[in-house]
Amino acid sequence: MSEKIDQNRREFVSVAGKAAAASVVAPGVLLHSIAHAEPRAEPVTDAVRYGLLIDTTKCADGCSDCVSACDKENGLDLLGKPDGATDEDWARQKPRWIRTVKVKDRLSGHVSSLPLMCQHCEHPPCVDVCPTGASFRRADGIVMVDRHTCIGCRYCMMACPYKARSFIHENIKVKLSAVPRGKGCVESCTLCVHRRDYGVAGTACADACEHGAILFGDLNDPNSDITKALQERNHTQLRADLKLNTGVRYRGI
Amino acid sequence: MVRTVTRLLLLAALLFSAVTFAESQRNNAVIEGSKAADLDACVAPTDFMRRAHFELIEHQRHITVHQGIRKTDNSLAGCVNCHVAKDVHGTFLPVDGANPVTGEQQFCAGCHEYSGVQLDCFSCHTNVPLKAGK
């Protein structure tokens, strides 16, 4: 198992190295996307790839600060239980972009708790199966749903190995400008895409984590904190066997 | 003879009132008190906007969602910010609704209801300005 992880890591490091070289060739692009605090005027490019590193050894059991911060940032806290739905239904169907999950090693009994969101795969199964092309991967590595073309078939929800996507079942009364949302569409973590496009740093979850368990950054930038942290110590992908090359990496599981 | 003249006069009066009604519609399309009311034209000439605003918005939605471009004149949030009006208490009135007191149809609703074209934007997008990035 450990050999497998090492191999993946080696691959990842080599990819990161090549991308680093690319970003030196086009430093202006990189500089623009990070330094400017203005709305984006140029199309996103693959010079950057956004991702998260989650250190489960720092993640506190029972804490859900990242989840509430995400709910607030993305307007999920504005959704109410639909008329006629039972509490049970709502608990099961309530849209959420981050779930807190516990994983237990059967042999040792070691338990890790971790936030689980869209893993922003390089080869996303949700994009493979989408019949309309609504599920797509943006050039900067963010996997999103174009809700203008989403027909609500929920095939992507079936295909996602991480159960990362939610469905909006009811009409929405209050909406945020930056996070439109409507009945009949699927949605999931966007790595706070509005922040990316308006030049605001970080993600809501990373900002909210008091334990410093969530690190957000550009995986293609050799000088970013996240790349350094990934190079420094071992980490893993969830379901690495699926070879999806996830943009969200974990430590301590 | 007198009857014919009266008829002609009546017809002329009717025509005139129809023209002035159309003219007043033209000028009152923007809602008083909105930012748009103080401007000469929208992001393109008014006649073009009346006929093709949806094409601008549709083009924009693709480049915003897929390419992340947010700096633009043609965003839906821009339409709402500029065309929204406030009620007497200073509360924004939804652009796809009517003023609850006067019954005046707001900017989007007015034309869309008149022309019987369903307005889908606001089933997902906000119909009053809410700060960008929030």
Q: Please name which of B12, B42, B47 lies closest in space to residue B26, comparing C-alpha atoms.
A: B47
- CB proximity B77 to A under 8 Å: yes
- Mean pLDDT for A118-137 is 97
pLDDT of residue A37: 67
Pairing between β-strand A50-55 and β-strand A111-116 as defined by DSSP bridges = unpaired
What residues make up the domain containing A129?
Answer: 2-251
Least confident of A123-132, B19-28, B77-86: B19-28
SS3 content of chain B, % helix, strand, coil (to 5): 55, 5, 40
pLDDT of residue B8: 64
Rounded alpha-carbon distances, angstroms, from residue A10 to A13, A215, A253: 5, 21, 18
Which tens digit of pLDDT belongs to each residue from B15-36? 555 555 444 455 557 888 888 8
Is pLDDT of B1 > 80?
A: no
Pairing between β-strand A50-55 and β-strand A248-251 as defined by DSSP bridges = parallel
Q: How confident is the model at residue A163 (pLDDT cuts 50, 70, 90)?
A: very high
pLDDT of residue B10: 63
More confident site: B72 or A242: A242
pLDDT of residue B5: 66
- Of residues B67, B77, B129, nearest to A43 (C-beta): B67
Amino acid identity for residue A4 in this structure? K
Amino acid identity for residue A138 in this structure? R
pLDDT of residue A28: 41
More confident site: B7 or A207: A207
3-state SS assignment for residue B2: helix
pLDDT of residue B35: 86
Is pLDDT of B132 > 60?
A: no
| CATH code (residue A233) | 3.30.70.20
Q: Is there a contact between A39 and B70 (Cβ–Cβ < 8 Å)?
A: yes
Let me know if B45 is exposed, middle or buried by CB neighbors in 10 A (0-12, 13-18, 19+). exposed
The structural domains of chain B, with segments of one domain joined by +, span 1-29, 31-123
**CB–CB contact B132 A197 (8 Å):** no
More confident site: A30 or A241: A241
- CB proximity B130 to A under 8 Å: yes
Is pLDDT of B42 > 50?
A: yes
| Alpha-carbon gap, residue B2 to A75, rounded angstroms | 71
- C-alpha neighbours within 13 Å on the C-beta side of residue A158: 7
Cβ contacts of A41 on chain B, cutoff 8 Å: 69, 71
**Number of domains comprising chain A:** 1
Which tens digit of pLDDT belongs to each residue from A33-52? 444 468 999 999 999 999 99
Q: Count the neighbouring beta carbons within 10 Å of the beta carbon of residue B129.
A: 15
Torsion of CA A13, A15, A21, A26, to 10 degrees: -130
Q: How far A141 CA lies from chain B's nearest CA (Å)? A: 11
Which tens digit of pLDDT belongs to each residue from A105-126? 899 999 999 999 999 999 999 9
Cβ contacts of B131 on chain A, cutoff 8 Å: 177
pLDDT of residue B24: 47
Q: Is there a contact between A16 and A219 (Cβ–Cβ < 8 Å)?
A: yes
User: How high does pLDDT run on average in chain A?
Assistant: 87
**CB–CB contact A175 B134 (8 Å):** no
- CB proximity B3 to A under 8 Å: no
ipTM of the complex: 0.78
pTM confidence score:
0.79
Is pLDDT of B60 > 60?
A: yes
Cβ contacts of A183 on chain B, cutoff 8 Å: 123
- Of residues B61, B68, B71, nearest to A196 (C-beta): B68
Is pLDDT of B112 > 80?
A: yes
Closest alpha carbon within chain B to A72:
B134
Q: How confident is the model at residue A1 (pLDDT cuts 50, 70, 90)?
A: very low
Is pLDDT of A4 > 70?
A: no
Q: Is there a contact between A146 and A125 (Cβ–Cβ < 8 Å)?
A: no
Is pLDDT of B134 > 60?
A: no
- CB proximity B63 to A under 8 Å: yes
3-state SS assignment for residue A192: coil
- Mean pLDDT for A158-182 is 92
**CB–CB contact A178 B61 (8 Å):** no
Least confident of A7-11, A72-76, A149-153, B66-70: A7-11
